[in-house]
Amino acid sequence: VQLQASGGGLVQPGGSLRLSCTASGFALDAYATGWFRQAPGKEREGISCISSSDGSTSYADSVKGRFTISRDNAKNTWLLQMNSLKPEDTAVYYCAAENRRRCPAIGITVSDFGFWGQGTLVTVSS
Protein backbone atom coordinates (compact mmCIF):
# COMPACT_ATOMS: atom_id res chain seq x y z
CA VAL A 1 0.00 0.00 0.00
CA GLN A 2 1.44 3.31 -1.07
CA LEU A 3 0.19 6.88 -1.18
CA GLN A 4 1.99 9.37 -3.39
CA ALA A 5 1.36 13.06 -2.85
CA SER A 6 2.32 15.74 -5.34
CA GLY A 7 1.58 19.31 -6.34
CA GLY A 8 3.32 21.34 -3.67
CA GLY A 9 5.46 24.36 -4.43
CA LEU A 10 6.01 28.06 -3.90
CA VAL A 11 3.06 30.38 -4.42
CA GLN A 12 2.37 34.03 -3.65
CA PRO A 13 -0.26 35.03 -1.11
CA GLY A 14 -3.69 34.93 -2.72
CA GLY A 15 -2.59 32.29 -5.19
CA SER A 16 -3.76 28.73 -5.74
CA LEU A 17 -2.31 25.24 -5.76
CA ARG A 18 -3.79 21.83 -6.31
CA LEU A 19 -2.44 18.86 -4.43
CA SER A 20 -2.95 15.33 -5.65
CA CYS A 21 -2.62 11.97 -3.91
CA THR A 22 -2.65 8.66 -5.74
CA ALA A 23 -3.05 5.35 -3.98
CA SER A 24 -1.66 2.03 -5.13
CA GLY A 25 -2.12 -1.41 -3.68
CA PHE A 26 -5.76 -1.06 -2.72
CA ALA A 27 -9.05 0.11 -4.17
CA LEU A 28 -10.00 3.53 -2.92
CA ASP A 29 -13.76 3.11 -3.00
CA ALA A 30 -13.92 1.67 0.54
CA TYR A 31 -11.59 4.22 2.09
CA ALA A 32 -12.14 7.62 3.60
CA THR A 33 -9.37 9.96 2.49
CA GLY A 34 -8.02 13.16 3.91
CA TRP A 35 -5.38 15.83 4.04
CA PHE A 36 -3.24 16.98 6.93
CA ARG A 37 -0.55 19.60 7.25
CA GLN A 38 2.33 20.23 9.58
CA ALA A 39 4.01 23.58 9.94
CA PRO A 40 7.48 23.86 11.51
CA GLY A 41 7.30 23.44 15.27
CA LYS A 42 3.61 22.56 15.22
CA GLU A 43 1.58 19.38 15.47
CA ARG A 44 0.10 17.74 12.42
CA GLU A 45 -3.31 19.28 11.74
CA GLY A 46 -6.22 17.57 10.03
CA ILE A 47 -7.67 19.93 7.45
CA SER A 48 -10.07 17.99 5.28
CA CYS A 49 -11.72 14.63 4.79
CA ILE A 50 -13.99 13.06 2.17
CA SER A 51 -16.08 9.98 2.79
CA SER A 52 -16.19 7.07 0.38
CA SER A 53 -19.85 6.25 1.08
CA ASP A 54 -21.48 9.46 -0.08
CA GLY A 55 -18.70 11.89 -0.89
CA SER A 56 -19.51 14.06 2.12
CA THR A 57 -16.73 16.40 3.14
CA SER A 58 -15.44 18.18 6.21
CA TYR A 59 -12.97 20.99 6.69
CA ALA A 60 -11.03 22.60 9.48
CA ASP A 61 -12.18 26.14 10.21
CA SER A 62 -8.78 27.43 9.14
CA VAL A 63 -9.35 26.37 5.52
CA LYS A 64 -13.14 26.35 5.19
CA GLY A 65 -14.29 28.32 2.16
CA ARG A 66 -10.82 28.34 0.59
CA PHE A 67 -9.91 24.65 0.17
CA THR A 68 -11.91 21.98 -1.63
CA ILE A 69 -11.35 18.25 -1.37
CA SER A 70 -12.49 15.87 -4.11
CA ARG A 71 -11.84 12.32 -5.21
CA ASP A 72 -11.87 10.13 -8.29
CA ASN A 73 -12.24 6.50 -7.28
CA ALA A 74 -11.68 5.28 -10.83
CA LYS A 75 -8.22 6.87 -10.78
CA ASN A 76 -7.56 6.00 -7.11
CA THR A 77 -6.83 9.67 -6.59
CA TRP A 78 -8.00 12.51 -4.38
CA LEU A 79 -7.29 16.20 -4.69
CA LEU A 80 -7.04 19.29 -2.53
CA GLN A 81 -7.71 22.53 -4.38
CA MET A 82 -6.28 25.39 -2.35
CA ASN A 83 -7.33 28.93 -3.18
CA SER A 84 -6.69 32.30 -1.55
CA LEU A 85 -3.55 30.94 0.04
CA LYS A 86 -2.07 32.73 3.03
CA PRO A 87 1.44 32.68 4.50
CA GLU A 88 0.05 30.73 7.45
CA ASP A 89 -0.87 27.91 5.05
CA THR A 90 2.84 27.19 4.65
CA ALA A 91 3.43 23.60 5.75
CA VAL A 92 4.20 20.09 4.63
CA TYR A 93 0.93 18.60 3.42
CA TYR A 94 0.21 14.91 3.88
CA CYS A 95 -2.46 12.77 2.32
CA ALA A 96 -3.99 9.95 4.31
CA ALA A 97 -6.46 7.10 3.91
CA GLU A 98 -8.32 4.75 6.21
CA ASN A 99 -10.50 1.71 5.59
CA ARG A 100 -13.75 3.29 6.73
CA ARG A 101 -16.61 4.52 4.64
CA ARG A 102 -17.25 7.77 6.46
CA CYS A 103 -15.05 10.48 7.85
CA PRO A 104 -15.06 11.02 11.61
CA ALA A 105 -18.09 12.96 12.76
CA ILE A 106 -16.14 15.75 14.45
CA GLY A 107 -12.80 16.77 13.04
CA ILE A 108 -10.03 14.44 11.92
CA THR A 109 -6.94 13.45 13.84
CA VAL A 110 -3.78 11.55 13.03
CA SER A 111 -5.09 8.49 14.86
CA ASP A 112 -8.09 8.29 12.50
CA PHE A 113 -5.89 7.29 9.55
CA GLY A 114 -3.56 4.36 9.08
CA PHE A 115 -2.10 5.00 5.63
CA TRP A 116 0.02 8.05 4.85
CA GLY A 117 1.76 9.67 1.93
CA GLN A 118 5.24 11.12 2.14
CA GLY A 119 4.27 14.80 2.27
CA THR A 120 4.62 17.67 -0.14
CA LEU A 121 5.84 21.14 0.82
CA VAL A 122 3.65 24.17 0.24
CA THR A 123 5.27 27.56 0.74
CA VAL A 124 3.17 30.71 0.57
CA SER A 125 5.40 33.74 0.36
CA SER A 126 5.93 36.90 -1.65
The 10s digit of each residue's pLDDT in 14-39 is 999 999 999 999 888 899 999 999 99
78 and 57 Cβ atoms separated by less than 8 Å: no
The per-residue DSSP string of 12-76 comes to -TT--EEEEEEEESS-GGG-EEEEEEE-TTS--EEEEEE-TTT--EEE-TTTTTTEEEEEEGGGT
Give the pLDDT of residue 59. 96
| CA atoms of 121 and 91, how far apart (whole Å) | 6
The whole-angstrom separation of Cα 63 and Cα 48 is: 8
DSSP 105: S
Pairing of strands 17-24, 77-82: antiparallel
pLDDT at 87 over 90: yes
Q: What pLDDT is stored for residue 15 in this prediction? A: 98
Q: How far is CA 69 from the centre of its chain?
A: 7
Q: Which residue has the higher pLDDT, 74 or 16?
A: 16
